Structure 1
Amino acid sequence: MWFAYFYYFLIFIRFVTSATKAETIFQCDHIFDSSKSDGEFQLPILPSPATGSEHTSSPGPLKNMQCIYTFVAGPRQRVKLDFDQFQLAGTADNCETEYVDIYSELESPHDDLLTASFGGRYCGTVSPYVRISLHKVIVLVFHSRAASNRRSELKFRGHYSFISDARYNAGHQIGKAKCSFLIESKTRKRGTILSPTYPGTYPKNFHCSYLLNGRMGQRIRFFFRDFDVYFGGEHCPYDSMTIYDGTTNKDPIIRKVCGLQQRLEVYSFGPNAFLEFNTTSPTKADPRGYVIDYEFSSRYVDVLKLLDNEKGVTHLRGSECDVRVESNRETVHYIHSPKYPHLYPANTTCTYIIDGLQGEQNLEKVLLTFEKFAVLSEPTIGALSSSQKHTPDYEEELCATAYVGIAMRDTTIKSVLASGEESTYDATLCERIPEGSEALGPYASDGPRMVLVFGSFDRVTADEQTPFGFRAKIEFKTDFGIPGDPGGDSNKCLFKFTKPQGSFNSPRYPANYPLDTNCTYFIKASPGQQIQVYFEQFALYSDGSGSGGDKCADFLEIFDVFMVNGKERLQLQAKYCAQTFPGPTVSAFGSYEMRVFFRSDSQGTGNGFKALYKIRKAFKEAIPTRETSRHCGQRITRTDDRTTGWLVSPGYPIRYNKDLICDWEIKVRPGHRILLNLVKMEVEGAMSEDSINCQNAVIRVDADRGVGAGPSVQEICGTVESVIQPIVSNNNTVRISFFTSPDKVNGLKGFNFTWTEVKLIKDDRECSDASLYLCTYTKLCIDARLRCNGDENCGLHDDTDEAHCNKLESATDIRTVLFAATFSGCIFLFIFGFFCYLFKKKFERKKKKRRRYASSGLKHLRQPYRSQKPVSKAAAGRPTDIHLLPSPAASRLTHHDIRGVMPLSSDHPHVANMYRESPKQHHSHTETFYG
């Protein structure tokens, strides 16, 4: 308290300083006593003027003010303050200029405020909550330095009253403790416990205790009518109310409570209980405390009789008759209603929480069967079947006064445990159910937990028969979490599947599967049907050591089941281990049953797997003769003309579709084998040296068909061809299958294989024939015609059938060029000769034409111009040309231009003379000419 002392010392110094500066300090202290039972107060109350005796509340222009208001109650009374108006300067976090300090734990009005417990400081607009004195005195200290320059009106008004303190005396006070009481049933069977200053803010750093003692056979019921205690966290590390099931705080804790609680109900196990309330000094808060009703009674359920010394059945501490039944691995237990076989009590609700084992190695489910059932209700309607569900209205009609509700699903169980009486159950029973009725069960839980609720209301109904209530048998069975029909004892992981479609999974999926587990799945169809299986998840345990570890410590095996002479024959289809994701698959041709085995060892676990299956109509052929929309593929047989070939996915290189089932079979001569080489692959999935994931699409190559007890199938997918090495079969037959998921695929291009008939030889002389070729490194003997065909037909790391083709290709190229040149030359000579012939013919025609002209004695010269009009008359005085004919026929032998008759050659004397004439003479001597 040194801080408070120092603070008031500073105030005193300030007052003295202010006085020396002639500042006014008003004496406005006031005392309210119990002479008046209640009244109003407002602050500040200033001294009366010199001319009158009345007080005034107007602060005027005052600059500095401190007022102390003391409320003093009478004997066996307490002070109660209610604040109606509150508006001071400052904010809740900054109370420097104006504030009110509250002291509510004073025993006398003369107590020193500097050493008294401080109840809080308030300013701004946040009003203090209701205050009730711990004893009989409350002091308010009002301080203001903002009266002269305040921006808002000062408001501080409330009501005071003096109330009796009898309600706060819960019992006999123990010793000199301020808040320690003894409550005994012999003096008070029921009553109420209030926090020390309820509904006012309870004191800080305070302690209260209440010891309740009843008689033998009694139990104590606590009902939290109101509870408001500072909440500092889930485990109530600050302020809390703790209820102990005994007489001291060393007995078992029933419950530790803090925060806000409404209508909380708590029962003691026996006739004694101890309550302890502790407070600290948390951040500013005004919690009001608590109001707890208590009652001693012997009508509450006798827990010892309810448990009946049953092993694994315990009482849930703090409840009237809630019971927990716990499994001890495959155990059997019994439960019954209160007072069974006698009539159950009214207004009683008992919850039976039944828990099977749930851990890394254990998972159980609950089977509940009623041996006797007579929970009578009005009106009598009859029992409900186990499959019926009800709403609260439905329950009110059929099971109005008593019922038994069963919650078997997770969502229903959560609802029942959260809301209690207003819950909806998976099954509701009432009335007397005869033996042998299906309504008696068994009821199976979906998980490791089941909840049963017995409830009775104000009226209980009895008939002339006995017993009353119920008795039930509880069996815990190992729950593998597999949806099929169990095929053996509850502790055996064996399940059957016969529905047209469904799913199966590893034990406890999606949780980790247990160690040392062996599970068998029977998937059975009918003759003429086949089974399709594809996986949704697959993750088995891997020790993380890569290729050096044992990947198949945990594994899954798929077998095809054949019936031979009435006996089963299992043929292994595939085995999957860690770091592998199986692709889709179907049962083998002729098999209509699949058997799946799952095994885990003792080293580690994983999430396991989930697979889906469909039963479909079987194909008519193992290898289709004709492709259909459901079944594609073909049978490929080697011939003399075909010792190699191609094999591609449907529609390659176009995208493949979902739900594809394709089967190819390649067969060559006996004593020979088949070499498969992957040329191109774009199939969704991924492959590496350590893992493979072919979930939605897979290529399966059975290169050992017909060899050994079962096939050794290689699964292929992804887009990296180099991961897949060339495959050589072990006999003369290879089966290739391609499956895609029936649900969804991305649809890539597919794949392209080449196949080649090969023969493994021990002596090179076996492949010395000219029609054969011996591969250098792999020692495979192939058809010589396959040499230099553009494909590598010799197998892994051997390209000798293509490596020596360069010289032959060069010689072939030279011959091809020579042949092409010769052929081109011949064509050129033919064309050249043809054109020479045409020119020769044309020249001869021209020569003949010249001879014909020469024979006529005329020499025709080509004139490049013609006159627009023919000249009709010769120029006057022009000398007569002996070669020009005056007749019209001569015009046909004369060249014309657009202007008329063209002149002859200048070599002719007459022509030369004609051109020497002037143009005027030329035009004046024209004559008409008719050609």
Structure 2
Amino acid sequence: MLISRKGMVKVSRVVRNCRYIFNNSLLTTVSPGIFGTPGFGSRKYPVGRRCHYIFIGKPDERVEMKFTKFNVQGVAPLCQFDYLDIYAEVSDMTQPHIDTPLLGRFCGEGTDRLPNLIISTSNIIILDFYSDFDKADDGFEGRYRFINDSIYNFGQKKNLCDFVINSTEQRLGYIVSPTYPGMYPDNLHCSYTLVGKIGQRIRIKFLDFSLFQGGDYCPIDYVLIHDGGSSKGEEIGRFCGNYKDVVIYSSENYLSIIFRTQSGRIDSLNADNLEGDADFLYNRRGFNISFEFSDKFVKPAFSRTGGDHIQHIKGTACDVRISSRKRSFGTLTSPGYPSDVPPNVTCNYYLDGMRNRKVLEKVSISFKDFEVPGQMPYCYEGYLEVNLKGTLGVGAFDERFCGSLLPPNLTSEDSRMILTLDTHKSRSSRGFSSTYQFITDFGISGHSPEDGKCIFLYISRNYKEGTFNSPYYPQEYPDNTKCEYIFRPAVSERLLISFHAFDLGKTRGPCHSSDNILVDQHDLKGNYTRINTYCGTQFPGPIVGALGQEVRVVFNSRIGSRHAGFQAKFEFLNTRLRKCGENITSFGGGGLIKSPGSPEKYKSYSFCQWIIKASHRKNNILVIFEDFHVEGKEQEGAGCKNAVMRVYQDLHQPGKELCGKQENQFFLSIGEYLKLEFVTSSRALGAKGFKITWTEVHQTNPMTGSQTSSGKNGCRGFTCKITKYCIDESLKCNGLPNCGDSDRSDEEEGCGTGRVSYSLYLTILFLISTQL
């Protein structure tokens, strides 16, 4: 009893069998021919049938099959109604179906859900078609032919797809996958071992290559090539997907090719709701690979100095990689030099300098002999290309040479240089001979007068502006390293340095015990004086050197310390720098200093200096930041990177750097001089600026000049109530703070509402915002 698709009980029916045999050994069989379901083309296939289609070729033949039309009731992958089973790996007719791998079960409509082309692994293919007792459809039709299997036999055959190919028996030929160009089956493990004579090399070329691309590292289907006679040899490459015209060479006289396939391609893609027969949508032709044994293939050229790690790149004809052993050097030649370079070869030379946290090298090459046929600049017959950036690709070269003129000395831009020798259209020539050297590089632009040392020289006539940085920036700088950067402006120029990046690591102690930057000024006596010392992560303010004087920047890193480092811009400036300020000699009183352009915002490229001298060498100068608003922020990770005010309380010591917003900050000079310096960089956006009051603080009697003590009866001027400073009487009630430290007593005691402000007079007399 049978149950129909609608669930109704039906009377038992007998399935009728049918059998079709296509045997190429029989004269009645036509090849190529057509097969199909009973009555195809004139009616739908009958219900309740089980039909067997058996295709048998001669012992030296394979069966090739392609479906041209297909419409069978059912939905893949279950195909619970009608279906077609295909067996293409039948070893012999006595083999039970249950022991024969099933290529696939198919139903539905359309040939796009079937393999594009089927080729048997032996001389037999079996099809089983089943229809139930309900609905029928148009059925299927296909074409078949019997083909000679000689293309699948090469060398000594061990089984279906294990071969040993010996050059004594076959010098050149082809290796194809077991069912090429038909869809290859699952769960194959094939090996092809090529064995040449001593002195021979083996060249293989992918003429056609189409394997399922299952993702990175080819986890499902792949071809694995080893440089040697077994899988223990060095791996040249693992391949899947689609390739064409890939050429691979063995290093010696052995080469091993492994071909593996698996099932589970749908799962590997994590696909949802895909039909089971979707696996057959992937192009799985397999491969056709040519091979050739020869002792005429080009031999790789090696360095004549053994100090470097020199390696022929496995799988290539003559590509060589030379890896530095730290500042090493050697001789590099074309293959066979000084004999003629072989024609029709392309050789790549990869020269790799050291690149790690402690060492970065560049490559320098100098040619001693050169002859490559051709005419510059086109070099149609042959050429030597040089890539200074260390990359390959069409048009990626920086220089191309041919002819007999020696190329110039060349240095890579980074740690790798690539040379490419191409002789595919050239006649005989002796090639080239060159010497190379790996030189220490710190990833810093500029002229290094001493090779291998981190010293860089920037002279105005060669560089008007540029950048300099910590070693290897933006990578971390190496520990225990010292670098010097020396800047030499013209006599009419000043140097401007502004920092764009700054991270020497967080610090809690003084800068001399941390990674730091020292900035020194070369004075007229030929000595260096310290401008300032910087550390931590707070940006230094812009720095301007003295007119025409050399500036030296020194970077120091401690043992075991590595951080992001710094990058800075340098500019040698003359007319572009906006100068202002002046030297002020006090007559015992005080004055007012405003930012350039006040009340408008200050501008970029500003450089202002005010040097204030007291009237007596034992007096001091007090400055009070009454109103101060300059871009930047005095904190770690920020700083005064684009604008800075430096206060020098002692002209022989580095100044205090100020930016951001300051309220009632005051500074007292250590001696009779106090210096203010305001600098903005090219990136300064401008802000409100500043208003600064300066006052001479008397340690001598302002009336008689005799020594006195501030705050005691000896002060003949005004004694500030809180700070006890002795200031000139004329500064009292002038509308400006002159006592400092929030002391407003000079503007409170005895200052009536009807007084005339002295500030206007001081402003006119001492305003120092005029341009120099």
Q: TM-score range by the shorter chain?
A: 0.7 to 0.9
Alignment of 1:582-661 (within 5 A): 582-589=540-547, 591-617=548-574, 630-639=578-587, 643-661=589-607
Distance in 2 separating the partners of 1:359 and 1:37: 71
Asked if 2 retains the 8 angstrom alpha-carbon contact of 1:635 and 1:664, the reply is: yes
Matched, 1:132 2:132: no
Give the gaps of 5 or more residues in structure 2: 266-278, 701-706, 756-772
Contact 2:373 2:426 in 1 (8 A): no
2:764 corresponds in structure 1 to none
Question: Tell me, what secondary structure is at the counterpart of 1:536?
Answer: strand
Q: In the alignment, is the contact (CA less than 8 A) between 2:342 and 2:428 conserved in 1?
A: no
How far apart are the structure 2 equivalents of 1:239 and 1:27? 38
Aligned 8 A contact 1:28 1:45 in 2: no
1:202–1:528 CA distance, 2 compared to 1 (3 A): same
User: Which position in structure 2 is the counterpart of 1:714?
Assistant: 656
Letter in 2 for 1:681: F
Q: What's the CA shift string for 1:353-378, capped at 9, x where partnerless? A: 0000111111111111112212234x
**1:230 aligns to 2:212 (yes or no):** yes
Are positions 1:260 and 2:242 aligned together? yes
* Secondary structure, aligned partner of 1:167: helix
Match for residue 409 of structure 1 among 372, 389, 404: 389
Residue aligned with 1:485, SS: coil
1:272 to 254, 262, 268: 254
- 1:322 aligned to 319, 322, 334, which one? 319
Cα deviation for residue 30 of structure 1 reads 2.3
Among candidates 199, 202, 215, match of residue 220 of structure 1 = 202
Shift of 1:511: 2.2
- CA radius of gyration, larger in: 1
The structure-2 alpha-carbon separation of the partners of 1:75 and 1:687, relative to structure 1 and needing over 3 Å to count, comes to same
Q: Compare 265-274 and 785-794 and name the one that shifted more.
A: 785-794
User: Cα deviations across residues 570-625 of structure 1 (Å, max 9, x unaligned)?
Assistant: 22222221222122222124x43222222222232223222222223379xxxxxx
The DSSP-based 3-state class of the residue aligned with 1:477 is: strand
**Which of 363, 368, 374 lines up with 1:366 in the alignment?**
363
Whether the aligned pair in 2 keeps the contact of 1:536 and 1:610 (CA below 8 Å) is yes
Deviation of the 1:290 alpha carbon: 0.9
Q: 1:113 to 1:691 in 2, by over 3 A?
A: closer
SS of the equivalent of 1:338 reads coil
Determine if contact 1:222/1:266 at 8 Å carries over to the other structure. Answer: yes
Give the CA deviation at 1:77. 0.9
For residue 461 of structure 1, what is the aligned residue in structure 2? 428
Contact 1:770 1:784 (8 Å CA) reproduced: no
**CA separation of 1:552 and 1:12: change in aligned 2, threshold 3 A:** farther
Alignment pair present for 1:160 and 2:144? yes
Cα shift at 1:109: 3.4
Partner of 1:674: 621
Specify the alignment match of 1:300 in structure 2. 297
The corresponding residue for 2:272 is none
Corresponding residue number in structure 1 for 2:676? 736
**How many residue pairs end up in the alignment?**
723
**Offset at residue 488 of structure 1 (A):** 1.6
Aligned to 1:780: 725
Kindly provide the CA deviation profile for residues 782-827 of structure 1, in whole angstroms up to 9, marking residues without a partner as x. 345555666554433x63736975xx67xx68x99xxxxxxxxxxx
**How far apart in 2 are the matches of 1:562 and 1:759?**
32
Is the 1:98–1:146 contact (alpha carbons within 8 Å) kept by the matching residues of 2? no
AA matched with 2:574: K
Aligned counterpart, 1:199: 181
Q: Kindly state the Cα deviation for residue 522 of structure 1 after the two structures are TM-superposed.
A: 2.0
Report if aligned partners of 2:699, 2:708 keep a CA contact under 8 Å in 1.
Answer: no
My pick for the range that moved more, 784-793 or 315-324, is: 784-793
Q: Contact conserved, 1:552 with 1:578, CA < 8 A, in 2?
A: no
SS at match of 1:495: strand
Distance 1:71 1:484, change over 3 A: same
Structure 1 CA distance for aligned equivalents of residues 94 and 8 of structure 2: 26
Query: TM-score, normalization: structure 2?
Result: 0.86
CA distance in 1, matches of 2:724, 2:715: 16
More strand per residue? 2
CA-CA distance at 1:494 after TM superposition: 3.1
Residues 326-405 of structure 1 aligned to structure 2 (within 5 Å): 326-377=323-374, 381=375, 384=376, 394-396=378-380, 400=381, 402-405=382-385
Could you list the per-position Cα deviations for residues 715-743 of structure 1 after superposition, in whole angstroms to 9, with x for gaps in the alignment?
A: 11113x25x8421111222221222222x
Distance 1:90 1:773, change over 3 A: farther
8 Å CA contact 1:528–1:618 kept in 2: the answer is no
Letter in 1 for 2:494: Q
Farther off after superposition, 69-78 or 135-144: 135-144
Aligned in 2, Cα 1:732/1:94: closer, same or farther, shift over 3 Å?
Answer: farther
Query: 1: distance between equivalents of 2:656 and 2:509?
Result: 20
Q: Is the 8 A contact 2:3 2:10 kept in 1?
A: no
Pick from 695, 719, 725: which aligns with 2:641?
695
What is the CA distance between 1:660 and its match in structure 2? 1.6
Cα distance, 1:748–1:29 mapped onto 2, change above 3 Å: farther
Aligned pairs for 1:867-886 (under 5 A) are: none
Q: Write the distance in 1 (CA, Å) between the matches of 2:355 and 2:710.
A: 71
CA offset digits 1:472-510 (Å, max 9, x no partner): 111000112222122122334333333222332222222
In structure 1, the residue matched to 2:496 is 532
Work out the CA distance in 1 between the residues paired with 2:566 and 2:638: 15
Shift of 1:536: 2.4
Q: Give the conservation status (yes or no) of the 8 Å contact 1:477–1:490.
A: yes
Given the superposition, is the C-alpha separation of residues 65 and 602 from structure 1 closer, same or farther in structure 2, using an over 3 Å criterion? farther
Does the Cα contact within 8 Å between 2:2 and 2:12 map onto a contact in 1? no
Seen in structure 2, the aligned counterparts of structure 1 residues 691 and 290 have a Cα distance that, compared at 3 Å, is closer
Bigger RCO of structures 1 and 2 (CA < 8 A, at least 6 apart): 2
**Percent of counterpart pairs with the same letter?**
32
> Residue in 2 aligned with 1:33?
23
- 1:427 paired with 2:405, answer no
The answer to whether the 8 Å contact 1:704/1:711 transfers is yes
Distance (Å, rounded) in 1 between the aligned partners of 2:719 and 2:229: 100
Name the SS for the 1:114 alignment partner.
Answer: helix
Gaps of 5+ in 1: 1-10, 47-54, 385-389, 434-438, 463-467, 620-628, 817-931
Hey, what's the Cα distance between the residues in 1 that align with 2:304 and 2:252? 16
Residue from 748, 759, 783 that aligns with 2:687: 748
Which residue identity lines up with residue 70 of structure 1 in the other structure? I
In structure 2, give the amino acid aligned to 1:336: T
Instruction: Tell me how far 1:325 sits from its aligned partner.
Output: 0.8
Q: Which of residues 234, 244, 250 in structure 1 aligns to 2:232?
A: 250
Distance 1:512 1:593 in 2: 28
The amino acid that maps onto 1:214 is G
The whole-number CA distance in structure 2 between the counterparts of 1:395 and 1:96 is 68
Q: Deviations over 1:677-736 (max 9, x none)?
A: 222222111113x5651121111222211xxxx4321111113x25x8421111222221
- Mapped to 2, the partners of 1:531 and 1:203 lie a distance apart of 74
Summarize deviations over 1:850-869 as a string: whole Å, max 9, x none: xxxxxxxxxxxxxxxxxxxx
1:134-149 → structure 2 map (5 Å cutoff): 134-144=121-131, 148=135
Picking from 107, 114, 118, the partner of 2:102 is 118
Q: CA RMSD in A?
A: 3.1
Change (3 A) 1:119 1:18: farther
Please tell me whether the aligned partners of residues 480 and 561 of structure 2 are also in contact (alpha carbons under 8 angstroms). no
